[in-house]
């Protein structure tokens, strides 16, 4: 019986070490991050610091298309509607500091309330005063029409890779996946003051909780940062984080499976050893 008690104590100690110490260490070493996440209640997919949508106004996709052709396609391409990018990547990035993203799927990637605020005042919504997307002086009806149009052309089942390259790929590369941003690093450095980090192993370096909160409100976690708030909706955020996890550690699933197998095997062996020992000692007692 003594051995069994020792075993139980060992198991409890290991479990405390596994589930107790790591989060404790995290909360001590990353205190300011934990505090910022708590203070701003991140991730905040309600975008509660932004103005509410004008719910009484209904957008019309057809009118939205005309408005987009009038105001947006001098900078943005829309592949889904056969509108090519107006400039090659090099000229576009030299003109704006970054290649303006294709608008085909932005209506599905971004939160509607964020998009409304972004089209009203890009610098305010992104919390990035230097943003090179201009404020175009659109009224609420025009904005709701544009949003209705962007939603109507967006793909419904975007996967994690597409979501990541379309929402982040104008700035971030993923070298291990052979994805290189179209904006040259030197140009990005001039525009943002910094070359955005490569995504290949960012999930391992920063962890899920941090990435989700950072993308949701960069200024809360890294005051003064030159990454604009992107305004992703919750679904897109989940897809992107899952994809970043998969590429940072492609063998994780297999390893977890093997790990469980090894633990089960050891458990069976411990049981057998115990029974065998009991049998051997039975006659001696």
Please say which residue, 63 or 206, places its beta carbon nearer to ligand HEC: 206
> What minimum distance in Å lies between the beta carbon of 224 and ligand HEC?
7
255: CB partners within 8 A, 6+ apart: none
Picking from 98, 97, 92, 140, the residue whose alpha carbon sits closest to that of residue 115 is 140
* Residue with the two structure tokens 């889904």: 80
Please say which residue, 1 or 69, places its beta carbon nearer to ligand HEC: 69
Note whether 163 and 239 are within 8 A (CB). yes
248 C-beta neighbours (distance < 10 Å), count: 18
> What minimum distance in Å lies between the beta carbon of 92 and ligand HEC?
8
Please say which residue, 193 or 259, places its beta carbon nearer to ligand HEC: 193
> What minimum distance in Å lies between the beta carbon of 146 and ligand HEC?
5
Output the six-digit token pair for 255. Answer: 């390893």
> What minimum distance in Å lies between the beta carbon of 44 and ligand HEC?
15
Please say which residue, 9 or 147, places its beta carbon nearer to ligand HEC: 147
Distance CA 123, CA 126 (A): 5
Length of the chain: 285
Note whether 144 and 59 are within 8 A (CB). yes
> What minimum distance in Å lies between the beta carbon of 118 and ligand HEC?
6
> What minimum distance in Å lies between the beta carbon of 256 and ligand HEC?
24
Note whether 235 and 210 are within 8 A (CB). no
Output the six-digit token pair for 225. Answer: 């940062």
Picking from 127, 140, 80, 135, the residue whose alpha carbon sits closest to that of residue 106 is 80
- Interface residues toward ligand HEC, by CB under 6 A: 68, 71-72, 74-76, 96, 98, 100-101, 103, 106, 110, 118-119, 131-134, 136, 146, 167-168, 170-172, 192, 194, 196-197, 202, 206, 211, 214-215, 222, 225-228, 230-232, 240
Please say which residue, 158 or 171, places its beta carbon nearer to ligand HEC: 171
Please say which residue, 28 or 164, places its beta carbon nearer to ligand HEC: 164
Cis omega (within 30 of 0) on the bond before 43? Answer: yes
């Amino acid at each position: 019986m003594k051995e069994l008690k020792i075993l139980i104590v060992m198991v409890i100690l290991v479990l405390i070490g596994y589930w107790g110490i790591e989060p404790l260490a995290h909360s001590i070493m990353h205190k300011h991050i934990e505090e910022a996440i708590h203070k701003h209640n991140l991730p905040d997919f309600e975008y509660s610091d932004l103005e509410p949508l004008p719910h009484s106004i209904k957008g019309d996709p057809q009118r939205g298309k005309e408005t987009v052709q009038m105001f947006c396609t001098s900078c943005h391409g829309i592949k889904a509607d056969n509108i090519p990018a107006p400039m090659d990547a090099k000229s576009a990035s030299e003109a704006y500091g970054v290649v303006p993203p294709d608008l085909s799927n932005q209506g599905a990637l971004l939160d509607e309330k964020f998009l409304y605020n972004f089209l009203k005042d890009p610098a305010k919504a992104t919390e990035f005063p230097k943003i090179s997307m201009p404020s175009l002086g659109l009224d609420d009806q025009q904005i709701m029409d544009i949003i209705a149009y962007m939603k109507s052309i967006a793909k419904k089942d975007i996967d994690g890779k597409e979501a990541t390259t379309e929402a982040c790929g104008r700035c971030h590369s993923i070298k291990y996946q052979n994805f290189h941003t179209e904006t040259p690093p030197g140009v990005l450095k001039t525009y943002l003051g910094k070359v955005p980090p490569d995504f290949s192993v960012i999930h391992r370096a920063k962890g899920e909780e941090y990435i989700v909160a950072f993308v949701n409100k960069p200024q809360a976690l890294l005051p003064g940062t030159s990454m604009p708030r992107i305004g992703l909706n919750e679904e897109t955020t989940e897809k992107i984080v899952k994809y970043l996890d998969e590429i940072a550690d492609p063998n994780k699933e297999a390893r977890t499976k093997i790990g469980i197998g090894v633990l089960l095997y050891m458990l069976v062996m411990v049981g057998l050893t115990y029974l065998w020992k009991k049998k051997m000692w039975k006659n001696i007692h």
